[in-house]
Structure 1
């Protein structure tokens, strides 16, 4: 039979494999959700560009922040929506006139953008004029463009070409039919439209709710908005605040948990909605997603990130300690090298020089040269980083050695130091002797440079 230790090791490996598989599954889910969000962004842009009406948004200086394909093709006469960004209407009017086109659109109308910004409310206008010689009349709706805090950051508008009312109406009906079919067959999100009673906001009337709301949010009573969700107690306060803010700012964007009785668990929802005032009342158009897997994946990745960060901090501390030890080792090695070299120069070489002149025989002299050569091989690597003053150079010898390293000739050194050329040669001879290269075919400047 297998031992307890073997079974424990197998169990640990299985847990590691299961954890790895779970991490991979969560990453795949996160990638899928990201793709869904990217698809939704592209889908939103596609809706705007396929809409028959002209849709745009401008900043406080009346420069375009957004323009759909319709306004570019029928009014601005630019090649694509991106070409409108950052420009004003007068820019496109002047471009048309420079091409010899008759363009008078907007000249006899009031500045509706300034009116909306002054009134700070949604308004309706009729604007007309010539575009490339053709008369155009637009039924324009404009409103303040507000950020999440309710601060005005520009204007948003849409315009309908009422000179061709019947054609536009037909296109609009087809567009609405295709959009309705799309919303009714949606599976990854749910779309809704509510009619809001300003007096009793909680008593909203359901105009449209896509069938997918049952699978997305567990909604079983579509016509009773107050029965749609059972909100998690920890999210009730934030949801109420978001609802009040959305009612006054016409925008709602909130994440919260709802109880799914059919699944016996809490699920995360993300709802985005925008309110608009129309002639027949106020309406809220929105979309909802189940983001449970995304939230759980983010939490799992965040936990793993904290674990990795903790490990990184530990490794950083170890690296710091190792750097200190390595630095101390290098300092000790340098001290030892300097000490060895100094002892060789001051305690050994002088006696070798005396031994040369002591009248030894040829065999002894050969042994002495071998000893001296081997000693040079030992100390040569250590002497490369040693300074001139540590080698016992006099101040004048240091100056001469420095100028030799710079490539200066003996005559030039003599002129700079105010001494004779013969004296300079004497210093060069002394320097070679101190360096242990006297009588050797070694270039002095090359050897001095090697000491750096």
Structure 2
């Protein structure tokens, strides 16, 4: 059975322990020896001109690698910028992929099997390009491996699309499982999927939903955000929308989430049913408007009442002023004449009490007693008369004579007055307290 001999240069380039090793390939590999097409063959250059892939020819004996110029274009390097040797190739491979790429090459060279490998190469700007490598091993007549001829294809976009698809599928599984109305639509706004809550919200089956567009259910703004020039950004957008479902209005707080690649973009519509909440807000707004109207009405009523009370106070003051004027012009002169006539008679005390009472009726002290409610309750009419004479400094005997009541009755009324003003058992004189009330009323 033929064998493939590995030159020492191969081990040195891979930094492996060096020694020629003879490896017996599988029988199928021995029967399918590839034709010898190297970088020196015109056919190689013809392939390079019509291929979008990067073609290469690695000379195992010398360690040099010939790449077509597509390798530099693919990685954004100047012409000839990518190293043409095995060590440079290894250094440009992503550290996480380097060992697997080296092992795949080793296995292909040592077994004679075709090379299939996938790894990432570092580009000029630092990002990585994912490539798929397919190569074959060439041997000489003695079965010694001399070259590896192969091609590199940029599959970055393909892998990104696959990753985006997986991400979209994962996102769909998550979003479709949440208890909120959720739809998935394509870039034309056509429904691709809907969860049970979404079907319940729109009151239709899945078969009735798939194939329709968002224009059938949502305001034009939603359709324009998905398909128009002002598309949803990478972070999505949220808006409140109203829908007409079975001749009823429903409301959603709708979040539009982009997913997938730009040229194959889909969108998730994640909704929160706020129909009841919005109805409550509208009812609250109506109640607030009604309350404001009632407040305005009450304000107007209070204003009118204040005007009436102010007018009543003015009328009262005017009446008091007229009474006071009549007292001074008509009553006081009459009382003065009677006082002179009764100058040496006991009835004069009663006359003076009458004068004081009349003055107090129209004066602030009597008004104060009439309005005030002492802690122990309001004063009776007789107690007001007694309090007025006590304030004037009259004794119990003088008060009894003036009011034609007994001394014990006067003492009884004095005790009641002290009790009602909270003076029972206190050292405060009743006349002093009543005089203080007089000053406060003024």
Band the TM-score falls in, shorter-chain normalisation: 0.3 to 0.5
TM-score normalised by the chain length of structure 2:
0.38
The structure whose Rg is larger is 2
